[in-house]
Chains A and B, each alone.
Chain A
Amino acid sequence: MALEQLSDVVQRCQALSDDSYTPEDHDVFSVSGRTCIEEGNSAQVLSLVLDEKNQDMVRCMGWTLLPPLIQVLLKKRDEKPSPCLAIFSHLLQTCRPKELLIGLLEQLEHEDPDTIAESLHLLLNPLQKVLLCLGSRKASSLGMTLSSVLDQLAKLPLPHTKEQEEDDVFSLCRCCTDLMAFVKPFVHETRQNLLSSENTNKKAGEQGGGRAAEDELQTELLKFSMKTLSHPLLELQLRDPDTLAVSPLRDFATEILNTLRAIGESVSSLVFQPLLKRKQVLGFLEEEVRYPKESLASLAHLVFVHHLAADSFPSVFSSVFCLRCNMEHVCLLLSRTEESRIQKGLELYEKSLVRLEDGSLPADLLQIKTFLTVPQNLVKVMTMCPQHDLRTRGLKVLQLSIDKFDTEAKYNFFQYMLKTSRHSGVEGYIIKNIKVQIDAALQPGNSNVWFEGSQLLPLLRKVLSLPDGPETDLLQYLDRVMESLNLLRYLVIRDKVTDNQTGIWTELYKIEDTFLKPLRVGVNMSRAHYERELHDTRATKRGKAKEESVISVSVGSEKLPNMTSDSQIQALHSALHTFDMIESVLVRIEELTAGKENL
């Protein structure tokens, strides 16, 4: 039935010229054509389409057959080349590019990953051919296509392990490879345009060093590259050549960098962009839109951590300058919560730091905002990130960054962290670092003004203090309190009364008042309180009276069971043990300072 309708309309239109086709003709053609194809009569459709007499009609209306054709091709992808494929090829050659483009793009959109992957594989090549036929007006169409393709690509699951990348179950790798092949001729064209425009500029005489208004094609390719840097590249874990010799994803990343270079963007300028004031380019996009910060951060990571395009990256920039620029990228990455971002931020930070010698960074770097924001972000990562590996790594990177500062910078940094980190564990860690620095300063020949003498005292005063006086919650602030006590004990042992290099002996009477005395009071109070609690809990347990707790804790909408009495008793014991620990150090300090205070 449909076949007859199709034959009819085709015959009828043979006699007409193409501007006298009625909308009805269009409709009949497309509906009947579709039905034929779906019903499997594609061979007949093929012969109709190939017929010489029908070419005008095919050129005009043929594109409406694309949807059913593509659907059939996608479904029957394992079968041998069918007439559908032949129809498809013919249509691509005959119909008008603009209309073909619409038809093809429509068919890119799918929901399930398999179909997406297959449609990309099928359609990228035809799309490329169609776009190349558009001549000098292809830029916006290319942009539209690339945008659509990337949207679809974003729906594909990403491989997380090396094996997953090798297996490529969801064909992401294949799609990326196809995508690179797709983009190639346009990149080449842009490169040629650039060269010729540079030549004409040179011939006409330099005009103030500025470029002519930018090529639209260039803009679209730039948009594309920037977008891929964000997704999928920022999400992916690239493998190095020794881990995975052949990696389509790594090749993809390398190609993106090459594309950037080909379209006239210098990779080093992009990476250092946060610190460079670029000249206003006569382009179509605003600076921030043109170079999204996240994409630049991704680029920096590819260059510094994976060493892609290393051969073309100049080896003349100073390591401090690289650090300063990368701090901007690291700041952005660490301020996010996604695991992939945080990991890349940490990697980039680490790679930038290992280039520097220990103790080489001067204190004036701490005037730069990112040098203060990044440690704060690190603290967040160390204390709140769910992944244990990232927390550990964050701590490692923090220590690495401390090691690179010179003594004055360390001093200022410690002060800053004590003031702002608001976390007992972090404060304790910083205090431990202070101890290390004081120890270093007391070594013969290493003397410095920051961790000895009068400069040290303000820092010591901050360290040897209780946040809330005698009422300080010693369990909450345990890390900090223990480190402070350890430091004090270390000082009274290491720094002889007669030398008093650190000034501790002259300060001791003050510290006694502001720190040691309130601490003793606090310990006693806390101990009394917890002993009381222990006693009550034991009594409750014996009496087996069920107590309704005042608060409940729920995780993921599931209420956690109340602590059993045994667990409670255990917790209370451990608290009491902690107070014992604190007290033992206090006593030791008292022993060491007995009689020596009044010097």
Chain B
Amino acid sequence: MADEPTRQWSDEQLKSDDLPKKDIIKFIQDNAAHSFLNEQKLLGNIKNVAKTAKKEQLIAAYNHLFESKRFLGTEPIEEVTEQVRSVKLEEKPKDVPAEVVDEVLEAGLFIYLFIHYYYYLFLCFCNFLLTGSQGPPKYFKSVLKKGDKENFPKKGDNVSCWYTGSLEDGTVFDTNIPTSTTRMRPPKRRARGSSQRSSAVVRGTNVPRRVSVFGSKRVFSLSAAARKKKQTKPLTFKVGLGRVIRGWDEGIMTMSKGETSRLEIEPEWAYGRKGLPDSKIPPNAKLIFEVELVAVD
């Protein structure tokens, strides 16, 4: 700690009118412990102290200081905090304290998070309502031909479709599109072992609307006239009521009239672990459908 301060003035000098009160106050404030100043009421602005304190008091305090030796540094912590506090109050009387600012910021952040959290919950809830509690969709749709993008089927509507269903290995297990080998030029021979899908366009007087090729078995769709001759009708059913496999219910409701899409449906939304016994669909089969939505009631 610092060395003890020494008397600066003698008694005569102190009593003299030449020595202003301010100097004594300053000396004491510079050298005395905070608690001493507090007791002697010598804290604060020198001018103010000078107004309130008499010279006799100041001299007494001066002498008392040296007697009690309660100099600056003998009570360090309190002093520092007091000094800081008093400095602050003196030097920035009109600013908002930093703590209050912090609190406000904290509150704002909290509200912000609060809102976002509950919005997130709300979105989850909406998703739940719309899609059920089964998590992500178990089918994948790729649009082959766009529809009118206006007429989307609602739950309970009658829909009519042409479709072809095949397994992952390309075996066609079902279709309601009549097959025909007449009126078509046979497609080019493919290399053996090739199992890639391709879309071949056959030109001729009877241009079919669409030709799709699945693996080893070929299915051709016919023109409208040829279809009529074969007297088959598109499959008609009420969508969204669980009458068909879930992949169809969900997928078709995202299609618009006239759209042709490819639906790849996971087994969970098709025939699951059992498949269709005694039929071409084995257990845990992923099904691939090409569906043309012809009409929406």
- Residue numbers of A with Cβ under 8 A of B are 191, 194-195, 198-199, 202, 266, 272, 307, 310, 314-321, 351, 354-357
Partner of A354, one of B231, B244, B277, B281: B277
The residue in chain A whose Cβ has the minimal distance to the Cβ of B225 is A199
B280 proximity list for chain A (CB < 8 A):
315
B242 touches A195 (CB 8 A): no
B233 touches A266 (CB 8 A): yes
The residue in chain B whose Cβ has the minimal distance to the Cβ of A360 is B272
A-B contact pairs, 12 of them (CB 8 A): A194-B231, A195-B231, A314-B176, A315-B173, A316-B245, A316-B289, A318-B244, A320-B242, A321-B242, A351-B277, A356-B274, A357-B274
Assembled-state Cα–Cα distance A385/B105 (Å): 81
* Residue of A191, A266, A318 with most partner-chain B CB within 10 A: A318
Interface of B is mostly: loop
A272 to chain B, nearest CB (A): 8
Partner of B248, one of A202, A316, A320: A316
A195 touches B244 (CB 8 A): no
The residue in chain B whose Cβ has the minimal distance to the Cβ of A354 is B277
Tell me, yes or no, whether B84 is within 8 Å of chain A by CB.
no
A321 touches B274 (CB 8 A): no
Assembled-state Cα–Cα distance A339/B198 (Å): 54
A316 touches B174 (CB 8 A): yes
B245 proximity list for chain A (CB < 8 A):
316-318
A316 touches B235 (CB 8 A): yes
Assembled-state Cα–Cα distance A191/B229 (Å): 10
Tell me, yes or no, whether B246 is within 8 Å of chain A by CB.
yes
B244 touches A315 (CB 8 A): no
CB within 8 Å: A-B pair count:
58
Tell me, yes or no, whether B218 is within 8 Å of chain A by CB.
no
Assembled-state Cα–Cα distance A317/B235 (Å): 11
A444 to chain B, nearest CB (A): 24
A189 to chain B, nearest CB (A): 14
Closest 3 CB pairs of A and B: A315-B174, A321-B243, A316-B244
A317 touches B243 (CB 8 A): yes
From known contacts A194-B231, A310-B279, infer whether A318 and B243 are also in contact, taking CB-CB under 8 Å.
yes
B281 proximity list for chain A (CB < 8 A):
315
Tell me, yes or no, whether B54 is within 8 Å of chain A by CB.
no
| New A-B contacts (13) at CB < 8 Å, excluding given A195-B231, A320-B242, A357-B273 | A314-B174, A315-B165, A315-B279, A315-B280, A316-B235, A316-B245, A317-B237, A317-B243, A318-B244, A319-B274, A354-B277, A356-B274, A357-B272
Tell me, yes or no, whether B271 is within 8 Å of chain A by CB.
yes
A321 touches B244 (CB 8 A): yes
B274 touches A355 (CB 8 A): yes
The residue in chain B whose Cβ has the minimal distance to the Cβ of A266 is B233
The residue in chain A whose Cβ has the minimal distance to the Cβ of B245 is A318
The residue in chain A whose Cβ has the minimal distance to the Cβ of B277 is A354
B229 proximity list for chain A (CB < 8 A):
195
B274 proximity list for chain A (CB < 8 A):
319, 354-357
B289 proximity list for chain A (CB < 8 A):
316
B233 proximity list for chain A (CB < 8 A):
266
The residue in chain A whose Cβ has the minimal distance to the Cβ of B271 is A319
* Residue of B229, B237, B273 with most partner-chain A CB within 10 A: B237
A477 to chain B, nearest CB (A): 39
Assembled-state Cα–Cα distance A354/B273 (Å): 11
Tell me, yes or no, whether B228 is within 8 Å of chain A by CB.
yes
Tell me, yes or no, whether B278 is within 8 Å of chain A by CB.
yes
Partner of A198, one of B228, B237, B277: B228
Partner of A318, one of B173, B228, B246, B278: B246
Assembled-state Cα–Cα distance A321/B239 (Å): 12
From known contacts A191-B231, A195-B228, A195-B229, infer whether A317 and B276 are also in contact, taking CB-CB under 8 Å.
no
B228 touches A199 (CB 8 A): yes
Assembled-state Cα–Cα distance A62/B229 (Å): 43
A316 touches B272 (CB 8 A): no
Partner of A316, one of B163, B228, B242: B163
B252 to chain A, nearest CB (A): 10
Interface size on B, residues (CB 8 A): 28
A318 proximity list for chain B (CB < 8 A):
242-246
A198 proximity list for chain B (CB < 8 A):
228, 231
A310 proximity list for chain B (CB < 8 A):
279
B243 touches A315 (CB 8 A): no
A314 touches B231 (CB 8 A): no
A319 proximity list for chain B (CB < 8 A):
271, 274
Encoded as 1 (CB less than 8 Å from any A CB) or 0, chain B from 152 to 168 comes to 00000000000101000
B244 proximity list for chain A (CB < 8 A):
316-318, 321
B202 to chain A, nearest CB (A): 25
B277 touches A355 (CB 8 A): yes
The residue in chain B whose Cβ has the minimal distance to the Cβ of A240 is B278
A319 to chain B, nearest CB (A): 7
Assembled-state Cα–Cα distance A319/B276 (Å): 9
Assembled-state Cα–Cα distance A453/B277 (Å): 39
From known contacts A199-B228, A321-B243, infer whether A316 and B165 are also in contact, taking CB-CB under 8 Å.
yes
A218 to chain B, nearest CB (A): 13
A321 proximity list for chain B (CB < 8 A):
242-244
B278 touches A307 (CB 8 A): yes
B206 to chain A, nearest CB (A): 17
A452 to chain B, nearest CB (A): 23
Assembled-state Cα–Cα distance A541/B280 (Å): 70
Give chain B interface residues in 12-51, CB to chain A under 8 Å.
none
B173 proximity list for chain A (CB < 8 A):
315
Encoded as 1 (CB less than 8 Å from any A CB) or 0, chain B from 241 to 276 comes to 011111010000000000000000000000111101
Assembled-state Cα–Cα distance A198/B242 (Å): 31
A266 proximity list for chain B (CB < 8 A):
233
A355 proximity list for chain B (CB < 8 A):
271, 274, 276-277
B47 to chain A, nearest CB (A): 81
A314 touches B235 (CB 8 A): yes
The residue in chain A whose Cβ has the minimal distance to the Cβ of B249 is A318
The residue in chain B whose Cβ has the minimal distance to the Cβ of A325 is B243
A277 to chain B, nearest CB (A): 9
A558 to chain B, nearest CB (A): 47
The residue in chain A whose Cβ has the minimal distance to the Cβ of B229 is A195
From known contacts A195-B228, A198-B228, A321-B244, infer whether A315 and B235 are also in contact, taking CB-CB under 8 Å.
no
B253 to chain A, nearest CB (A): 15
B271 proximity list for chain A (CB < 8 A):
319, 355
Assembled-state Cα–Cα distance A199/B224 (Å): 11
The residue in chain B whose Cβ has the minimal distance to the Cβ of A192 is B231
Assembled-state Cα–Cα distance A354/B277 (Å): 8
Assembled-state Cα–Cα distance A316/B242 (Å): 11
A357 proximity list for chain B (CB < 8 A):
272-274
Assembled-state Cα–Cα distance A314/B277 (Å): 14
Assembled-state Cα–Cα distance A317/B238 (Å): 11
The residue in chain B whose Cβ has the minimal distance to the Cβ of A320 is B242
B139 to chain A, nearest CB (A): 13
Assembled-state Cα–Cα distance A357/B163 (Å): 26
The residue in chain B whose Cβ has the minimal distance to the Cβ of A202 is B228
A401 to chain B, nearest CB (A): 15
Assembled-state Cα–Cα distance A314/B246 (Å): 15
Assembled-state Cα–Cα distance A310/B173 (Å): 11
The residue in chain A whose Cβ has the minimal distance to the Cβ of B278 is A307
The residue in chain A whose Cβ has the minimal distance to the Cβ of B295 is A209
B272 proximity list for chain A (CB < 8 A):
357
The residue in chain A whose Cβ has the minimal distance to the Cβ of B241 is A321
The residue in chain B whose Cβ has the minimal distance to the Cβ of A356 is B274
The residue in chain A whose Cβ has the minimal distance to the Cβ of B289 is A316
A360 to chain B, nearest CB (A): 8
From known contacts A191-B231, A195-B231, A199-B228, infer whether A315 and B276 are also in contact, taking CB-CB under 8 Å.
yes
Assembled-state Cα–Cα distance A319/B244 (Å): 8
Assembled-state Cα–Cα distance A199/B226 (Å): 12
A174 to chain B, nearest CB (A): 30
The residue in chain A whose Cβ has the minimal distance to the Cβ of B165 is A315
